[in-house]
C-alpha cells in the first residue's frame, strides 16, 4: 500500500513537471512573438523616421520652390505690372495657391506628427507589454523553481517514506517470522499440555477408579466386619448359653449322683433319667448373611412443568438422597442428574443437556459453583457408592465423572 502511494505521488510529480515544461514552452513562444513584434515596430519606426526626414526635405524643397516661385512671381508681377494689368491677378492667384500648398503641407505635417505619436505610443505599449511578459516569465520561472524545489522535497520525502516503509516491512516480516516460530512453539507446548492434561485426566480417572474400588472394598470389609461382629456377639451369646446349660447339666448330674449315692448300693448301676427331662440342645450355627437385596424400584416424583420447577425438584431430590438411609439398593434412576427430565440409563445422560440445564439454572436462580463441584466430587460419590446396587455402580460412577467435568468447565467459564 505504501509503495502504491509512492508511485502515485511520483506520477503526479512527473505530470506537474510536464505541465510546467509545456507552460514554459508557451511562454518562450510568446516571448519570441513579442520580440518579433518589437523588431517590426523598430523597423516601422525607422521607416517612419526616414519618411519624416524625406517629408522634411520635401517641405524644404517645396518651401524653396515656393520661395523661388514667389520670387519669380514677383518678378513676373513686376514685369506684368509693368507689362500688363493682369499681373496683379496672377499674383493673387499665386498667393492663394501658395496658401493652399502651405495649408496642405501643415495638414500633412500634423498627420505625420499624429502618426509619429501613435507609433511612439505603440512602441511604448510594446515595451510595457515586453516588460509585463518579462515579469510574467520571471514569475513563472520563480514559481517553476519553487515547484521544482517542492517536487524535489516531495520526491525525497516519498523516497524516505518508501525506505522507512521498506524497513518497517522488513521488520514486520522478521517479527511475523518470529511470531510464527513462537506460535509453532506455543502450538507444540499446547499439544504437550493437552497431552499432559489428558494423561492427568486419565491418571485422575484411574486414581478415582482405584479410590472407588478401595472405598468399595473398604465398605465391603466394614460390612463384613459388622457381620463378623454380629456373628461374634451371637457366638458369645451362644457360648454363654451353652455354659449356662452345661452348668445346669452339671448341677442336675451332681444332684442325681447324690440321690443315687444315698438311695442305692454302691455296686448298683445308677439309672439315667428320661431324656425328656434333659434341657434342649443348643441351636445350630447360624447361616451366612443373606444375599444382597434386589434393586429398589424407582418411583419418579411429579413431573415439573417449568424450568424453576425442575431446579426446585433437582435440589429437593438431592436433599432426599442425603436424608435417605437405605442401603445397597439404589439404581441409576435414583440419582438426581442435572437435566430437565428423569434419566434411567447412562446412555440417556447427554452432556449438552447437562450444560444447558446448569447454564439456565445459573442465569435464572444462580448457582454456587463451589457447592455444585462438591456435590459431584469423588468424596460425595464415595458416600453414595455404598448405597448403590453393584449392577449400577459403574454407570453411576461414569455419570458422576461426566457431570464433574462439565461443572468444572462451567465454573472456570463463569470466573
The set of cell numbers assigned to 169 is 516491512
Average the pLDDT over 293-298 and give the result: 61
Average the pLDDT over 161-181 and give the result: 82
Contacts of 48-55 with CB under 8 Å at 24 or more apart are 48/115, 48/116, 48/119, 51/112, 52/112, 52/116, 55/108, 55/109, 55/112
The count of other CB atoms within 10 Å of the CB of residue 373 is 16
Q: What is the pLDDT of residue 286?
A: 33
Residue 202: pLDDT band by 50, 70, 90 thresholds?
A: confident
**pLDDT tens for each residue of 87-139:** 577 778 878 887 888 888 788 888 888 888 888 888 888 888 888 888 888 88
CA atoms within 13 A on the CB side of 146: 5
Residue 262: pLDDT band by 50, 70, 90 thresholds?
A: low
CB contact at 8 A, 242 and 282: yes
**pLDDT tens for each residue of 66-89:** 788 778 777 876 776 677 667 577
Which pTM value belongs to this model?
0.34
Q: What's the mean pLDDT when you consider all of the chain?
A: 78
The set of cell numbers assigned to 315 is 435440589
**What b-and-e string marks burial along 160-172, b requiring 16 or more CB atoms within 10 Å of the CB?**
eebeebeeeeeee
CB contact at 8 A, 350 and 344: no
Question: Roughly how many angstroms between the first and final C-alpha of the chain, as a whole number?
Answer: 43
Amino acid at each position: 500500500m505504501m509503495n502504491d502511494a509512492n508511485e502515485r505521488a511520483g506520477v503526479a510529480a512527473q505530470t506537474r513537471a510536464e505541465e510546467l515544461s509545456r507552460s514554459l514552452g508557451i511562454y518562450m513562444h510568446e516571448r519570441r512573438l513579442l520580440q518579433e513584434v518589437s523588431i517590426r515596430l523598430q523597423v516601422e519606426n525607422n521607416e517612419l523616421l526616414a519618411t519624416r526626414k524625406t517629408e522634411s526635405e520635401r517641405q524644404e524643397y517645396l518651401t524653396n520652390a515656393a520661395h523661388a516661385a514667389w520670387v519669380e512671381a514677383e518678378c513676373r508681377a513686376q514685369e506684368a505690372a509693368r507689362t500688363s494689368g493682369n499681373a496683379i491677378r496672377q499674383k493673387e492667384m499665386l498667393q492663394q495657391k501658395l496658401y493652399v500648398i502651405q495649408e496642405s503641407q501643415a495638414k500633412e505635417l500634423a498627420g505625420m506628427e499624429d502618426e509619429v505619436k501613435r507609433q511612439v505610443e505603440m512602441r511604448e505599449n510594446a515595451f510595457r507589454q515586453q516588460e509585463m511578459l518579462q515579469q510574467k516569465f520571471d514569475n513563472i520561472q520563480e514559481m517553476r523553481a519553487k515547484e521544482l524545489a517542492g517536487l524535489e522535497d516531495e520526491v525525497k520525502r516519498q523516497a524516505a517514506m518508501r525506505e522507512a516503509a521498506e524497513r518497517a516491512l522488513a521488520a514486520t516480516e522478521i517479527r511475523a517470522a518470529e511470531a510464527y516460530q513462537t506460535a509453532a512453539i506455543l502450538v507444540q507446548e499446547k499439544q504437550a499440555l493437552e497431552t499432559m492434561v489428558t494423561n492427568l485426566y486419565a491418571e485422575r480417572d484411574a486414581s478415582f477408579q482405584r479410590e472407588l474400588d478401595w472405598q468399595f472394598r473398604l465398605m465391603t470389609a466394614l460390612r463384613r466386619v459388622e457381620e463378623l461382629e454380629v456373628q461374634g456377639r451371637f457366638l458369645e451369646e451362644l457360648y454363654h448359653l451353652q455354659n449356662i446349660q452345661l452348668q445346669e447339666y452339671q448341677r442336675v448330674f451332681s444332684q442325681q449322683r447324690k440321690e443315687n449315692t444315698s438311695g442305692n448300693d454302691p455296686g448298683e448301676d445308677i439309672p439315667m433319667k428320661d431324656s425328656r427331662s434333659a434341657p434342649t440342645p443348643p441351636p445350630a450355627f447360624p447361616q451366612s448373611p443373606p444375599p444382597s437385596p434386589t434393586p429398589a424400584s424407582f418411583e419418579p416424583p411429579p413431573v415439573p412443568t417449568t424450568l424453576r420447577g425442575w431446579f426446585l425438584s433437582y435440589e429437593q431430590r438431592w436433599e432426599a438422597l442425603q436424608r435417605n438411609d437405605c442401603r445397597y439398593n439404589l439404581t441409576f434412576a435414583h440419582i438426581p442428574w442435572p437435566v430437565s427430565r428423569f434419566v434411567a440409563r447412562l446412555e440417556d445422560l447427554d452432556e449438552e443437556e447437562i450444560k444447558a440445564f446448569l447454564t439456565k439454572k445459573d442465569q435464572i436462580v444462580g448457582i454456587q459453583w463451589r457447592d455444585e463441584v462438591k456435590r459431584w466430587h469423588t468424596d460425595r460419590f464415595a458416600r453414595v457408592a455404598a448405597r448403590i446396587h453393584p449392577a449400577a455402580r459403574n454407570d453411576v460412577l461414569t455419570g458422576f465423572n461426566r457431570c464433574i467435568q462439565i461443572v468444572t468447565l462451567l465454573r472456570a467459564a463463569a470466573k
